[in-house]
Amino acid sequence: MSVEGGPPRGEALYERYDLQSLYTKWVVPPRAWNDTTYRTEWIRFNSEQAAATAFDPTWAQYDDQMRRLALGIRYRGGNMMKMAMGAMGGGMAADAFPKMEPATLWPVIDVLVAQTERTMEVNAATGVRELDPDRMPTSVLKRMAPSSIAQAYLRFLEPDEGLELITRLGISHEFVKPETVGDQKACGGCGSKFTLLPGATCVVCDGCGRRVDAGAGELPCTGCGATMCLPEGVKECACPYCKALVRRT
């Protein structure tokens, strides 16, 4: 499958992200799994971003530094066999990861933060920012960037070292679980449950990535009696629980 609309220099990148969205689903947003329009936009955005940053001298310098520093990271412990098996299966056991020596990791983190900030600058200057399929506000993007870095490396650090990483990234040490108030509904595409917040009419299902038309109400299955909300644009589907036909009339 090819994606139209990309510049000649990005053709190989388009193919790369196209294949990634097909064969390594655990590293792409759930919406890219079954939402064709979103998947196309996601491929284009990431391809254009990769091309724009690759041609930026400042970003390229950070990339060279990252490569050199990454080779100097020292590890202790871990289980390489479990890591290999987890990589092939899309999941990883907690004890599979080796721990990184913090003194060798901090320089990598510093460069990674600078490179991430440069990526946002390049995106804004080249217009790539406007291609983001999630339409994420810049303020949210800047808050998510350090959080994403923390999530990527915390598993490689001991608890006290993880706290130091969080401090270096300027993230609050406290986590407050939000109170989710709403009705429990089911996705007609895969059967996964979700919480419909007051006033919401559309929800992206965490199970299959489809946009669920919650505003149209629930439909009962004549086979098993389960109720569900159908994905957007769908008038009928097979019940995810018993496979009986569920149809909107």
Q: What is the pLDDT of residue 4?
A: 45
pTM exceeds 0.85 for this model:
no
Taking alpha carbons only, the member of 55, 61, 60 closest to residue 126 is 55
Say which residues have a Cβ less than 8 Å from residue 184's Cβ, sequence separation at least 6.
193, 194, 195, 196
Measure the CA–CA gap between 230 and 233, rounded to whole angstroms. 8
Residue 226, helix vs strand vs coil: coil
Using CA atoms, how far apart are residues 13 and 105, in angstroms rounded to an integer?
Answer: 29
Q: Taking CA 238 as the corner, what is the angle to CA 1 and CA 187, rounded to the nearest 5 degrees? A: 80
Give the mean pLDDT of the chain: 87
17 close to 42: Cβ distance less than 8 angstroms: yes
Please provide the distance, in angstroms rounded to a whole number, between the alpha carbons at the two ends of the chain. 35
Residue 92: pLDDT band with limits 50, 70, 90: low
What is d(CA 138, CA 37) in angstroms, rounded to the nearest whole number? 23
Which range, of 64-73, 78-87, 193-202, averages the lowest pLDDT?
78-87
Region 5-30 average pLDDT: 77
- Look at residues 111, 122, 96, 175 and name the one whose alpha carbon lies nearest to residue 149: 111
**Where residue 84 falls among pLDDT bands split at 50, 70, 90?**
low
Beta-carbon contacts of residue 92 (< 8 Å; ≥ 6 apart): 82, 83, 86
- Which tens digit of pLDDT belongs to each residue from 157-208? 999 999 999 999 998 766 677 777 889 999 999 999 999 998 899 999 989 9
Residue 235 has pLDDT above 80, yes or no: yes
Give the residue-averaged pLDDT of 74-83.
72
* Angle of helix 102-126 versus helix 159-168 axis, rounded to 10: 30
In this prediction, residue 26 carries a pLDDT of 81
Q: Quick one: pLDDT at residue 179?
A: 76
For the segment 94-132, what is each residue's pLDDT rounded down to a tens digit? Answer: 667 789 999 999 999 999 999 999 999 999 999 999 999
